Structure 1
């Protein structure tokens, strides 16, 4: 996996907080289906622990299966997009998304369906699979709620995400088998003492 890496911190080339971590292993969910994109999630095992500090922080992992997306607010997706197609310069973009209760195709319980903000260009950013969908809960704490899966071009611009909370047991099992156990504890027990991580979702 020498060709795959992740970068954290301020991504400017001269930033002292920027650091690259090579990926040691990519673990795809064994139940992933190419036919309907169900269970579209993978974990990335870094070659060394990611150090957290003021400029690099994890987002909270939801631990409540009953948490309704309707109770969340201020939902955003961040993605890499080309801002200058002639020079091919990527830049980190963000856009607002809105949850919809039904899509025009059969949804799985481990999926979330959203539509674009009509006043934004979020639809242009949906091709970046693995990008995070983050929302604030009632306490205004940021949670990762979804991962970009696919966009239906013939379904009224429906954006589909893997519903993170539905993969809690898989994340716990997979990281434990790798000897790097991660136990999602949700925002209710968010720890200020958290300093390192070795798994990244995508």
Structure 2
């Protein structure tokens, strides 16, 4: 699987559940300001991200027929740790994590591939396919880290956050090559658990946001705090089986601060 080229694979906005693959142990590491400040328009729609503006974003890829195929997004959250969605992982496959990727179809000097050991992907002891938990994969040392919010941090209704990734811009559109971003205002727990919204499907360990979906499963929900620092508040999990941006069915994320 080493040195395999990158190719595109089609993705659909489908309903999915996901889990943690290991217990999260945050080592002492300082998260940083992006080298390029993200462009954050107040428009709920997918747009191309600025290169280097989401440096903790990773591309999770698997090997098939001598090729490497992008399958999910993820985020660097601490030295040697990547957080993604567990439904992205099949322990029968070999994976690589590409850091510094922007255009999936181009060879980029900024991109560096890491090959996590199989033992670095560990199923969480509380695994339950009906509950949402983030997922961890171990890597070698990294410095472009996403800041993790304080435990039990709850965002207010309509709080502006951004999802990033290489998922489809709409349910029918082709897969984009450059990294995409979209505004995803938070939908509070009281609203999202109403019977005509997601109802009892939503647990306190989840975050609902927006409706538009441009990020892959496993991709980060990025929210800027009052100090102007970007934090990782969610890991993309599922959308309505009726498609992206369906009324009263916002995207659902595992809450990182749980």
CA contact (8 A) 2:220 2:232 kept: yes
Structure 1 regions of 5+ residues with no counterpart? 117-121, 167-202
Equivalent runs, 1:25-64 vs 2, <5 Å = 25-34=120-129, 36=130, 38-46=131-139, 48-50=140-142, 52=143, 57-64=144-151
- Change beyond 3 A, Cα 1:93–1:28: farther
The one-character-per-residue Cα deviations of 1:118-169 (angstroms, maximum 9, x if unpaired) are xxxx33x25x211100101111110000001111235623211000011xxx
Match among 90, 107, 114 for residue 177 of structure 2: 90
**Aligned mate of 2:254, from 162, 165, 179:** 162
Q: Which one has the bigger strand percentage?
A: 1
Partner of 1:17: 110
Q: Following TM superposition, by how much is the alpha carbon of 1:82 offset from its aligned partner in structure 2, in angstroms?
A: 5.3
CA RMSD after TM alignment: 2.7
The CA distance in 2 between the partners of 1:73 and 1:100, in whole Å, is 8
1:141 & 1:134 partners in 2: Cα distance? 10
Give the 3-state SS of the residue equivalent to 2:94 in structure 1. Answer: coil
Report whether the alignment pairs 1:100 with 2:187. Answer: yes
Note closer, same or farther for the CA distance 1:115–1:16 as it changes in structure 2 (3 Å cut).
closer
Question: Distance between the aligned counterparts of 1:130 and 1:72, measured in 2?
Answer: 22
Provide the C-alpha distance between the structure 2 equivalents of 1:49 and 1:23, rounded to a whole number of angstroms: 12
Structure 2 Cα separation of the partners of residues 142 and 27 of structure 1: 28
Cα distance change of structure 1 residues 129 and 89 upon mapping to structure 2, 3 Å threshold: closer
TM-score by length of 1: 0.63
Q: Which structure is higher in helix share?
A: 1
Are the aligned partners of 2:222 and 2:233 in contact in 1 as well (CA < 8 Å)?
yes
Equivalenced residue count is: 148
Contact 2:183 2:210 in 1 (8 A): no
3-state SS of the aligned residue for 2:257?
helix
- SS of aligned partner of 1:70: coil
